Amino acid sequence: MVQRRSRNFSVLVIPDDGSRTREFKVSSFMIRAALVLALAVLGLSLLGGLSVLRLRGWGRTVEQLQAENTRLRVEADKVQSLSQVLERLKDRDQQLRIMLSGNIPLSEPSYSPTRALSESADSTTARPGRGPRQGR
């Protein structure tokens, strides 16, 4: 049988003032454990540093998204208020049509967004030979 010899290292502490000298014995297992622990701490430190760098990048992204979110909320509020104005206009149009329906023949209202957009595009194009007030 092969006997494994335990390797111990001695650490001597000799103070400058001449007081008592101390000797510590450290086994090779303890040195290996300390080395593994030191490598683990170094690896975790590197991993932590990389995580901090990633978080800084995410922080910038969060700031950009918050600014965009604020801008979109303002636009959504504007759309909401315009939608309410449009609904009031539709109600008033309906009331006017009811009041005038006995005297003037009216066509049915068309509130289709695509038709309204195409009609507004047609009305904004200039007609040749006619100014804005001509033909009235």
The predicted structure's pLDDT at residue 113: 52
The pLDDT, as a whole number, for residue 39 is: 97
In the chain, DSSP finds a helix count (H) and a strand count (E) of 2, 2
The pair of three-digit structure tokens given for residue 33, joined into one six-digit string? 């454990």
Residues whose CB falls within 8 Å of the CB of residue 26, separated by 6 or more in sequence, listed in order:
8, 9, 10, 11
Q: Would you state the pLDDT for residue 119?
A: 59
Q: So what's the pLDDT on residue 96?
A: 85
- For residues 25-40, b (16+ Cβ closer than 10 Å) or e, as one string? eeeeeeeeeeeeeeee
**What confidence tens digit (pLDDT) does each residue in 31-42 have?**
999 999 999 999
Give the per-residue pLDDT at 120: 56
**What's the confidence (pLDDT) of residue 108?**
72
pLDDT at 70 (0 to 100): 96
Q: What is the pLDDT of residue 127?
A: 47
pLDDT at residue number 79: 96
- Low-confidence stretches of the chain (pLDDT < 50) are 114, 126-136
Domain ranges of the chain: 8-75
